[in-house]
Amino acid sequence: GKKTVAVVFGSVSSEYEVSLRSAASVLRNIPRDRYDVVMVGITKDGRWYEYGGSVDDLEADRWLENGPVTPAVISPDRSCGGLLRQAPGGPENVPVDVIFPVMHGEHAEDGTIQGLFEMAGIPYVGCGVLASSTCMDKDVTHILLEAAGIRTAPYAALVRPQLARFDSLEPSLREKLGYPMFVKPANTGSSVGVGKAKDRAELLAALKEAFRYDRKVVVEKAIVGAEVECAVLGNYTDADAAVVGEIVPHHEFYDYEGKYLDDSTDLFIPARIPKETSEAIRTAAVRAFAAMGCTGLARVDFFAERDGGIILNEINTLPGFTSISMYPKLFEAAGVPYPELIDRLIRLALEK
C-alpha cells in the first residue's frame, strides 16, 4: 500500500528560508501515486505544526499566517507511531511510515532532529545522528577525512576564549596558513558567517563575525581552483556519485547572496575540468561518504586545482533541494529525474 511520508520543513536554523524553498520543490515532485504526504513545519522560534495549506504559501513563508496549521509534533513516544496532533476533540495520532527532513543547518542537518526520529523509531531520509553531526562540524570533518587519507585544506580550529589572545594567535595562523584565509563557523551552512580575510584586521573582524554563529570556528588556507560539487546517493559503502558540477561565483567567494539572492553565480554541468579529475572527484566523494558513515545522500564539495590536485572542502548531508539546486540537477544530468530521486531517497531510508 501507499506509505505516509512526513515532510518536515523550517526549524530553528539560520537556513530556515532555504528550507522552505527546498521543501516546496520536494512537495511538488514527490510521486503522489506512491506516497501520501503530511507536512510538518517548525517555525523559526521552534513551534511545531501540521500544515494543510498550499505549497506556494509555504515557499513564500506565508504558511503560518495563511494555514491551516494545527499544533503537532513528531512524538518520541513510540506508541504514537508518528505525528501527535492537537485536534479540537483532543490529541490524535497520525501514523507516519517515513520522515523526509527537508531542512538545512543547525537543528536540522546536524544530527539533532535525527536523534528525535531515532527515539520515535521512524525511518528517515538521509544521514543518521553521527554522520550528520560529524559532517556538519567542519573541524571534525577535517580530522576524520585526514584519518581516511582524503586531502582537505590546511586549517586551524579555534574556540571562543582564544579570541581574547588574538595578538599571540595571529602570527601562528599567518605562518601556518598565510593570507588570504577563510574563516567559518564550524557548524553553519549557506555561507552564513563565512568570511575571507586578506590581512590581520580583516582576520579579527571575520573571527568576531564567525563567533556570532558558533562557539567554534575554523580558519583555512584559501585554496585556488575550480569549485566543484559531487552528488552522492546510497547507503554507506553502497553508494554512487552523479555527474560533477561546477560553480563560478562572481562575488569574492560563493556567499549567501550568490547562493540565493541574486543571479550572479554560474553553474556548469558537467564541470569544466579534465575527465580524469572528475573521475578522481567521484571516487573520492564515494570514499568520503563511506568513511563518514553517510546514508541516503550527501553533496560532497571539492576544489579542483589547476595541476589536477583535488581538495575536499565539505560534505553537506542535507544539501539544497530547490529545483535549481545542484544536488537534484546533478542527478538529472546523470539520468535520474527529480521525482525518481525522491523515490530512491525514501526507499534508501526504509532499507538502511
- Cα–Cα distance for residue pair 118/194, rounded to 1 Å: 32
Largest CA distance in the chain: 67
Measured from each CB, the residue nearest to Mg ion is 189
Stretch that binds Mg ion, among 33-41, 159-167, 187-195, 279-287 (CB under 5 A): 187-195
What whole-number distance in Å separates Cα of residue 108 and Cα of residue 19?
9
Q: Does 153 bind ligand ATP (CB under 6 A)?
A: yes
Binds ligand ATP by CB under 6 A, chosen from 55, 223, 248, 269: 223
Find cell 501514523 and name the residue: 95
Contact 334, 278 (CB under 8 A): no
- Which of 183, 232, 240, 238 is CA-nearest to residue 206? 183
Considering only 11, 191, 277, 278, the residue that binds ligand ATP (CB under 6 A) is: 191
Q: Is residue 183 within 8 Å of residue 207, measured between CB atoms?
A: yes
Cβ proximity to ligand ATP: between 134 and 316 the closer is 316
Cβ 205 to ligand ATP, closest distance in Å? Answer: 16
Could you tell me which stretch among 82-90, 110-118, 192-200, 311-319 binds Mg ion (CB under 5 A)? 311-319
Answer for the pair 338, 332: CB distance below 8 angstroms, yes or no. yes
- CA–CA gap between residue 143 and residue 141 (Å, rounded): 5
How far apart are CB 17 and ligand ATP at their closest, in Å? 13
Nearer to ligand ATP, 55 or 157 (CB): 157
Q: Which member of 141, 190, 278, 317 binds ligand ATP (CB under 6 A)?
A: 190
The C-alpha atoms of residue 114 and residue 127 are separated, in whole angstroms, by 8
List the one residue from 48, 117, 211, 254 that touches ligand ATP (CB under 6 A). 254
Name the nearest CA neighbour of 115 among 132, 135, 140, 139.
132
- Taken in order 108, 114, 116, 122, the sign of the CA dihedral is positive
Sorted by sequence, the CB contacts under 8 Å of residue 175 that are 6+ apart come out as: none
189 forms part of the interface with Mg ion (CB under 5 A): yes
Instruction: Give yes or no for residue 141 binding Mg ion (CB under 5 A).
Output: no
State the minimum distance, in angstroms, from the CB of residue 96 to ligand ATP: 28
Residue 199, CA distances (Å) to 114, 167, 218 in order: 40, 13, 16
222 binds ligand ATP (CB under 6 A): yes
Interaction between residue 316 and Mg ion (CB under 5 A): yes
Cell of 103: 531542512
Establish if 132 lies at the interface with ligand ATP (CB under 6 A).
no
User: Is residue 253 part of the contact set for ligand ATP (CB under 6 A)?
Assistant: yes
- 217 scored as a contact of ligand ATP (CB under 6 A): no
153 binds, among Mg ion, ligand ATP, none (CB under 5 to 8 A by kind): ligand ATP
Establish if 267 lies at the interface with ligand ATP (CB under 6 A). Answer: no
Return residues touching ligand ATP (CB under 6 A).
153, 182, 184, 188-191, 194, 220, 222-223, 227, 249, 253-254, 301, 313-314, 316
